[in-house]
Structure 1
């Protein structure tokens, strides 16, 4: 069972390497094919590798789905979407031509027949190269930026272009929109055309460099993502690229990067680093530009290799780097955000749990409240296995912090799990054990339907039994949801903040080479969902996450950010409840009282009111997917976006003077402030 509990945070990484290339043969379609362009074909090992992947998925994936006509149709759509998510390269006729394969993929793949994948990719390259030619034609003439015109960035529901005339109209707007971003930065058309020309020259170069392994990985991921969004295939080069300069990337912004076609994406945020502290960079954000310092111009990095982008972002501690980023919830043709970060050297200590005491005055009483921030659930496996006595772990560190807080005297304790994406399951269980007497913490149902009950094993000892609150947001996931869900189910503390992410699945990494006799060929790996988390009540954390007892305003809707918004996510369900005994320190009556208090605060507290207003404005703007291509309208929109970002990161009234550092801190963080006010009320009740 232990190997099932390894939760891996990996993403798809498409790299370049020498592949199987042969001279092109004329396509049966009417596409133009350049004699200089080489066609890609499957490698000899891909056929047997595909057979192994399908058998592993059919036999061991948690969904228990069989590759049939229904799944074949999903793979078909996934593949086209992965190559052309914005419907700007393929024509409708291309989709119509390949429609004959929609229900044949389930028959072809087990036989190792990959013709569909390579034919589609060949057309994709040809269409893309044709678009590159058109882009260079467009850049010869400056567009009219005074014209009242709009571009629909969310093209998911739109039809594929019928012909090149429609496609040209789309691309004219794409280039105009991208040019406007430069125009707003004060660039003249000559410089804009040169910058965009270089960008698309790099994209064109990449099109010639794609190899057989790139095509195979993209196709296999169209297959694996049909099972669930956390099942992935990694080609041999992808495994290497994911690790590229990762140790060095810790001296910089504290983010791991990966590559998907022409774009560099955020793979993971390192807790404690500049990216984590900014709270403005998230997983799957795309980096399109990098600038050194506060004054240097942005360098367009679309089409760059991963290692080249890493080198641009890295730099000495204390230096400034600015990034142009397309957020994960925006179309690639949407407006980029500019994020300023100060590089730093990332150390384990910065990723570790930290504590502080914040006094809160409610009525005529002042409460001394402890806050423990936990960026991730960490455990130094190497030191633990080698017998190091004082190895680092979340639970060990939190115990020390609680000891320190108790010595200073605190009236209540808050565990801040905002932006905690998870980590060690073992640590989530042991940390829960610090607050409950004994009993199960989480249930894990395996692919064979067997259920493992993971229990607190500290012999009934409660390390802290005082008033407790847990603060969550939409980025609290996986192990964070196990901890907060258990605290809620045991009625041990109140959960306040936003609904959590909703990732309740377990993945394991499988080396495909173990199932093949070809020892002389390096093969890929399969990250596959093999189990699912359930709360002690039997309810899954999958998709629903953990709903707070007191819900704070959130800028994110479930369908925009969270597991429930991911295609083919496993459904929520429930199993039998485990045998556990509630502490009943939190009652429905108490929660109702705290909810009423929170509603009063919403009517009275200026920081909360400002936050609610900015969140509503952000939600409204997010719904507006039609982007203006008029210079003045775009300038006003950019100013409004920047104002919202500033106000969401801090609702501090610049005209207000704070003599107390804590008051300033809480005004800048309304979520923490409100959570502590509710914890103070909880402490008052306990004292009373």
Structure 2
């Protein structure tokens, strides 16, 4: 990333701290056993067959250094030269349980990190030059490590001045900025005195499994607790799910119906810089905090006010953070369930009634189901009710299902939902680690809806969303509209390690391991490639690191034999016509023009690798960008018949969902084509 203190947290988002008094790290008694057990599980039960040998060892070695010092700003060349003796010992460490090489590397890493924090705290005692011609390079991943401590400190000083510039550009004078950074680094210093060997072990084990695939992970006891907090959506106060990426608490999901989603001001990949309590409380920066600390700071009682200072996803190096005020509230389950409405769309000289069904996730009440409750809550049951509701409202001529931002959920529900739109047949195939292929089919022959159908997806539609979309596409049952989906086609099992080791009274964390892969009924996989829409929109996510294909060591796309199924119809001819007409409409659509400009702007931002450390130039660029943003906001407002706003007024962009509107237009056209 291009912001913040890159090396003050681990690559998996946990804050990095050090042993007190510079002591070496040593494995805990259980670490040898856990390492051997996980190595055995990977070698024998992981979906990807893996040999624990020297070939793997050298990849683990490189991955370990990458996780600890990806930006090459901590280790010295002499450190790396000394580590080379361990390059072919990583596999032996796993198989024997002798983890000394990994812990010795981590001890040097901790020492270098401690030196960086001490240097920065010392430098913050004096005035820094914020009006220089010095250039800070943000991307050092491909550069060599520094040859000397003096080279390294020169770079640290540039980074420090950049952080001061960020604060000064946000209406702080240099003295105030140095005070803020001093408090931030002093907080880190406290953490430096409370490091546990568990951090070193977690880093090494994840370097090991990270060489195999990005979704297999060892979670320490604390890491497991954080994972379960996220999975249980415990951040119900404002309705977001967080992780920590490159020091920043980063929004991974915005929960439907929560205060964040309702505000319209928060999106996936936004980064939280600071949090303030109440309408007048002072902001406290949370850059560099670990996940649990960030969660505790943001959570609060229902009805209370919290203010966030946010860097929007893809923001430029010089962007000013925006302030968002939210009222904490309990996330109502109903807000996360299926929603439906009837939309009237003009198509040519006719008006078409289209049923719009929005599915936030694939949910399923397993307890009620197992208790034979016929009214158990589930996505497929609620969609069935929506389809029946359309009939009670006089009927619809077509249906559109909106799966944007739907990250998946229950496999059973993806299959059952598909069954509402086909009579019978396979929906998805699953191949396990032993190569056994299981075909999962629609369990009954009931066809609830047989009319024109479209499915709207985007880059954040994943897993179960992709299974359903792919099945509808393969059957020729629906036209898929939107963006290429996420591309995750792997399944993981969660193994609490106290159960694996048969020590139920202990907390040894957990191991999440990829055990299977999903395939379309046509034999292809959605892995890496996702689902390609029939009618497409350009994606602003294309310039961000979102999607399976952007992940290191993601499993490759491959194919198996197709399942036996009979397509409902052949849509190729219709799809080509729909795509052509869609493209013609987009040529005159101003929102489409704005989207393409936004994408080009993001590409330009991501191409920037350096910055001149001159506060005046920095502020000038920032002001120019803010004026440009205000101009574009007012252009949108004018098109909507709204009055323009000034720079001093709240600059919330008008809420325009032209993708949904255009997709409904495509649906109306599909109805017309099918009628012919």
Q: Give yes or no for TM over 0.5.
A: yes
| Shift of residue 515, structure 1, vs aligned partner | 4.2
Deviation of 1:369 after TM superposition, in Å, equals: 1.7
Listed as ranges, the matches of 1:258-657 within 5 Å are 258=243, 264-266=249-251, 268-276=253-261, 287-292=272-277, 296-304=281-289, 306-317=291-302, 320-325=305-310, 337-338=321-322, 340=324, 342=326, 343-408=328-393, 409-459=395-445, 461-516=446-501, 521-557=506-542, 560-584=545-569, 586-639=570-623, 652-654=636-638, 656-657=640-641
Residue pair 2:543, 2:603 contacting (<8 A) in 1 also: no
Equivalence map 1:62-101=2 (5 Å): 62-101=47-86
SS in 2 for 1:567: coil
Which residue matches 1:685? Answer: 673
- SS in structure 2 at match of 1:85: coil
Asked if the contact 1:326–1:334 (Cα under 8 Å) also holds between the matched residues in 2, the reply is no
Partner of 2:167: 182
Greater mean alpha carbon deviation, residues 412-421 or residues 633-642: 633-642
Tell me the secondary structure at the aligned position of residue 66 of structure 2.
Answer: helix
Shift of 1:157: 1.8
Separation (CA, whole Å) in 2 of partners of 1:217 and 1:255: 26
Compare 613-622 and 640-649 and name the one that shifted more.
640-649
Query: Equivalents in 1 of 2:386, 2:632: separation in Å?
Result: 30
SS at structure 1 position matched to 2:426: strand
SS across alignment from 1:361: strand
CA deviation after TM superposition for structure 1 residue 514, in Å: 3.9
User: Residue 15 of structure 1 contacts residue 237 of structure 1 at CA under 8 Å; is this kept in 2?
Assistant: no
CA distance in 2, matches of 1:37, 1:601: 65
CA offset digits 1:427-461 (Å, max 9, x no partner): 011111111121000000000000010001122x2
Q: 1:667 to 1:301 in 2, by over 3 A?
A: closer
Using the size of structure 2 for normalisation, the TM-score is 0.89
Which segment drifts farther, 489-498 or 285-294? 285-294
Q: Deviations over 1:446-481 (max 9, x none)?
A: 00000010001122x221111111111110111110
Q: Secondary structure at the match of 2:542?
A: coil
Q: 1:339 to 1:538 in 2, by over 3 A?
A: farther
Unmatched 5+ stretches in structure 1? 1-10, 22-33, 660-664
Of 645-654 and 306-315, deviating more is: 645-654
The 10-residue stretch of structure 1 (555-564 or 44-53) with the greater mean CA deviation from structure 2: 555-564
- Which residue, out of 136, 143, 147, partners 2:121? 136
Cα RMSD over matched residues? 3.1
C-alpha spacing 1:15/1:184, structure 2 compared with 1 (3 Å): closer
Deviation at 1:274, TM superposition (A): 3.3
> Is 2:660 aligned against 1:672?
yes
Q: How far 1:38 moved relative to its partner?
A: 2.7
The alpha-carbon distance between structure 1 residues 335 and 57, as it changes in their structure 2 partners (threshold 3 A), is farther
SS of 1:162's equivalent in the other structure is coil
DSSP-derived class of the 2:136 partner: strand
Aligned to 2:215: 230
Per the alignment, residue 4 of structure 2 pairs with none
1:252 paired to 2:199: no
Aligned counterpart, 1:30:
none
Cα distance in 2 for partners of 1:248, 1:415 equals 24
Q: Give the 3 Å change call, closer, same or farther, for CA 674–434 of structure 1 in structure 2.
A: same
Cα deviation for residue 204 of structure 1 reads 1.6
Aligned length: 655
Distance 1:564 1:84, change over 3 A: same
SS of residue in 2 equivalent to 1:358 = strand
SS in 2 for 1:653: helix
From the superposition, tell whether residues 261 and 617 of structure 1 become closer, same or farther in structure 2 (CA, over 3 Å): closer
Kept in 1: contact 2:15–2:288 (CA 8 A): no
Instruction: Measure, in 1, the Cα distance between the counterparts of 2:56 and 2:251.
Output: 29
Alpha carbons 1:202, 1:304 under 8 Å: kept: no
Q: Distance in 1 between matches of 2:283 and 2:161?
A: 18
Structure 1 pair 636–359 and aligned structure 2 pair: CA distance change class (3 A): farther
Match of 1:8 in 2: none
CA contact (8 A) 2:365 2:376 kept: yes
Listed one character per residue, the Cα deviations across residues 383-426 of structure 1 (whole Å, up to 9, x for unaligned) are 22234342211011111111112332322111111100110111
Note closer, same or farther for the CA distance 1:296–1:134 as it changes in structure 2 (3 Å cut): same
Q: How much does 1:291 deviate?
A: 2.7
Secondary structure of the residue aligned to 1:209 is coil
200, 203, 209: which is aligned to 2:188? 203
Equivalent position SS for 1:345: coil
Partner SS state of residue 454, structure 2 = strand
Classify 1:228/1:589 alpha carbon distance in 2 versus 1 (closer, same or farther; 3 Å).
same
User: Cα distance 1:147–1:320, how it changes in 2: closer, same or farther (>3 A)?
Assistant: farther
TM-score, length of structure 1 as denominator length:
0.88
Is the 2:236–2:258 Cα contact (8 Å) retained in structure 1?
no
